[in-house]
Chains A and B, each alone.
Chain A
Amino acid sequence: MSSNPTTQRFGSSMPSNYLDDSDGVVRFVPWGKLRKDEDDNVLGALPAAFALRDEEEYLSVTWCEYFAGTKDEKTRCAIEAIRNSDLKVGSKARFALGNVGEIRQRVEGRQNGRKLRIIHEPEPDNPAHAAIRHWPRDDDELLDLLAQAEWSDILTADEADTLPVSDCQKSDRS
């Protein structure tokens, strides 16, 4: 839903397409960012899975509601968008499913927490890419909490493959 005032970007006046609190997002979690035990059994995601790199201005996710269909179909399409992107998706990587409203509540509820801007920002290799701007840096406790709670629903490649397949048409909101 485009629900916000026009923003000026690069000399144009394109309205920002903000994600709704009811929307779902998928975060790619490579093998190295997974929380494991001493036998490499996966227990979840490390806080590092949700940390900004030094050169990043926003946290990258894939927007499920970019696609039409049922909830599971949209999730599958989002995962396929990640798989088809420039990211190298290894067989042991995972996909963390999150809800925009829950993530927002957790992050903005922190002391001195900034209001997040979660915007659909398509990229050449991922048309469903969304940017979570004003994502906090250096709040390790928060990232650990997100890994335990709002982003604890993690799918393996095999689990992702059990989700229903659709033609991944764009939704009216995209």
Chain B
Amino acid sequence: MNALSFIDHSRSLTKWIPATPITLTGSEKPKDLDDVFWGIKRGTQHREQSKPSQTGSELEGALRTSSSSFKVLVSRVSMHLGLPWLEKLFSQIDSLLDIEEWDERDPVPAQETARTFIRMLLILKVSRKPGLGVSNSGNLVAAWTSGPNRLTVECLPDDKVRWIVSRAIGDEIERAAGSGRIDRLRDVLQPYDPAVWFEYAE
């Protein structure tokens, strides 16, 4: 039984047997993110599209496949995230892709958006985890919120993101939006002191 089958048949992390050992540091950055995602080819993943003509069972199947793919991707970097975060991500994706809550007008998230999302988390090295949503295009949306300070990042294919910032600076709220690559994101956010989102308050 391969890792995908384990995840597909077991929604409980306690029953999931990872393909690689898990360490609990969650703080090491992989030397090369491409090495982490070996075997996952860019642009070749069939996009799971939910179509208006899809039956309920077809949509449910597509959502389950998307969830399984996400979990396989996450499992490849489990040694960099740590078990608590792994559990949280699995729970979040299960919740997001729940057939009972899924808006049938949205395309089912493809592996490419999940890839960008996970790579973004590894590059940013955040301590505080984001909330998870989805855009009208079926892209994963990461959201960090600390009072009036909001950061929203839509994860597009090929390591690209669209971001929106709302940052309280003194008595003012500064707002900005932009797009670019994930390896530039922290630099772009630096003027807004991203620790307000990425670190837990002391």
A107 to chain B, nearest CB (A): 15
| A36: B residues at CB distance < 8 A | 131-133, 143
Q: Provided the pairs A38-B92, A40-B91 are in contact, do residues A90 and B100 lie with their beta carbons within 8 angstroms?
A: yes
Q: Please tell me which one of the listed residues B92, B101, B132, B150 contacts residue A93 in the complex, with CB atoms under 8 A apart.
A: B101
Q: Please tell me which one of the listed residues B95, B103, B128, B166 contacts residue A144 in the complex, with CB atoms under 8 A apart.
A: B166
Residue of A nearest to B178 (CB): A140
Which chain A residues (141-155) contact chain B, with CB distance < 8 Å?
141, 143-145, 148
| B102: A residues at CB distance < 8 A | 30-32, 88, 90
Contact A32 B175 (CB under 8 A): no
Judged by a CB distance under 8 angstroms, whether A92 is at the interface is: yes
Contact B96 A31 (CB under 8 A): yes
The distance in angstroms between the C-alpha atoms of A92 and B95, with both chains bound, is 10
The distance in angstroms between the C-alpha atoms of A90 and B92, with both chains bound, is 17
> Interface on chain B toward A: helix, strand, loop, or mixed SS?
mixed
**Per-residue contact bits, chain A 73-110, to B (CB 8 Å; 1 contact, 0 not):** 00000000000000010111100000000000000000
Contact A37 B131 (CB under 8 A): yes
**Per-residue contact bits, chain B 97-113, to A (CB 8 Å; 1 contact, 0 not):** 01011111110000000
Contact B143 A32 (CB under 8 A): no
Contact A51 B128 (CB under 8 A): no
Q: Provided the pairs A36-B132, A38-B130 are in contact, do residues A48 and B141 lie with their beta carbons within 8 angstroms?
A: yes
Judged by a CB distance under 8 angstroms, whether B135 is at the interface is: yes
Residues of A within 8 A of B (CB): 30-40, 43-44, 46-48, 51-54, 88, 90-93, 140-141, 143-145, 148
11 of the cross-chain contacts (CB-CB < 8 Å) are: A32-B133, A35-B150, A44-B145, A46-B133, A48-B141, A53-B136, A54-B137, A140-B177, A144-B166, A145-B175, A148-B148
Residues of B within 8 A of A (CB): 88, 91-92, 95-96, 98, 100-106, 128-137, 141, 143, 145, 148, 150, 152, 154, 162, 164, 166, 175-177
Q: Please provide the 3 A-B residue pairs with the shortest distance between their CB atoms, ordered closest to farther.
A: A36-B131, A90-B101, A38-B129
